[in-house]
Amino acid sequence: MKLKGKIAVVTGGVRDLGRAISLKLASEGAKVVVNYFDNPQDADETLKLIQEAGGEALMVQGDMTKAEDVKKLFEEGIQAFGDKVHVLVNVVGGLVGRKQITEQDEDWYNFLMDVNMKSCWLCTREAVPYMTEGGSIVNFSSLAARDGGGPGASMYATAKGAVMTFTRSMAKELGPKGIRVNALAPGTIATSFHDRFNTPENRERMKGMYPLRREGDAGDIADLVLFLAADDSDYITGTNIDINGGMFFS
């Protein structure tokens, strides 16, 4: 029970990677405040799974690109579980779609930057006043931030690159307070993200190029998040950890 007695906030925490992370943190004793955007069915299922495993969680709907919704998330979590936040996991983000530079407009730019970078910034800003020494923030970047992304993913890659830099900046700023800030840079993980934005043929081709010859799964990601959230990693901060089966070394 590495997180017993701690409160964790997970944004985008009711499906795919977010669900696996919420379940993992709850299984290690954390009381988990789980944000979701627009699917109460997913939220209900995630809550059910956590409770069946003996964990505690609160589901809070909200758009993490809006400051008022972010504030509500933390206020409801504090009201339910206590006056501190020990762990924040910023999962919210996504590729959304693929567009070449000549197809992109200002609305596209703003949306990709908002969902991937602004959400991370807003949630971090809101969490810090509730955090004390020993706190941990885990952000989600991407392999795309390392290599520029695939065709039509330039704005996604750019936004995730901003998350990498923000992670380093916050590690410096919050380190004297005893708060660690790290990020993950996942490669191909078997989730609905790649079901939607990749093809089965390309995924099989790519598997043959990975040293480990497989895609990652949500459990691989959740295990790494737990490591970064817990005291096991108490001298690690400012890192952007690659988790891609050896596809790319940084």
pTM exceeds cut of 0.85 = yes
Residue 196 forms part of a structural domain: no
CATH of the domain at 59: 3.40.50.720
Residue 211 forms part of a structural domain: no
Closest CA to 153 of 94, 231, 241, 217: 94
| pLDDT score, position 194 | 67
Specify the 3-state DSSP secondary structure of 91: coil
Q: What separation in angstroms does the CA of 61 have from each of 10, 44, 94, 115?
A: 12, 11, 18, 15
Residue 194 forms part of a structural domain: no
Closest CA to 143 of 21, 217, 241: 241
Residue 209 forms part of a structural domain: no
Question: Cα 55–58–59 angle (5° rounding)?
Answer: 125
Residue 203 forms part of a structural domain: no
Closest CA to 18 of 193, 250, 233, 234: 193
Residue 200 forms part of a structural domain: no
Number of domains the chain contains: 1
Residue 201 forms part of a structural domain: no
For residue 161 the two structure tokens come to 């690159």
* The pLDDT of residue 150 is above 70: yes
Expressed as residue numbers, the domain containing 12 is: 7-188+218-240
Task: Give residues with Cβ within 8 angstroms of 46, minimum separation 6.
Answer: 13, 14, 15, 19, 22, 23, 34, 36, 57, 59
Residue 247 forms part of a structural domain: no
Q: What is the mean pLDDT of the chain?
A: 95
Q: What is the pLDDT of residues 91-126, one digit of tens each?
A: 999 999 999 999 999 999 999 999 999 999 999 999
Catalytic machinery residues: 156
Closest CA to 243 of 230, 175, 227, 231: 227
Q: What is the pLDDT of residues 68-88, one digit of tens each?
A: 999 999 999 999 999 999 999
For residue 223 the two structure tokens come to 């295990």
* 223 and 21 Cβ atoms separated by less than 8 Å: no
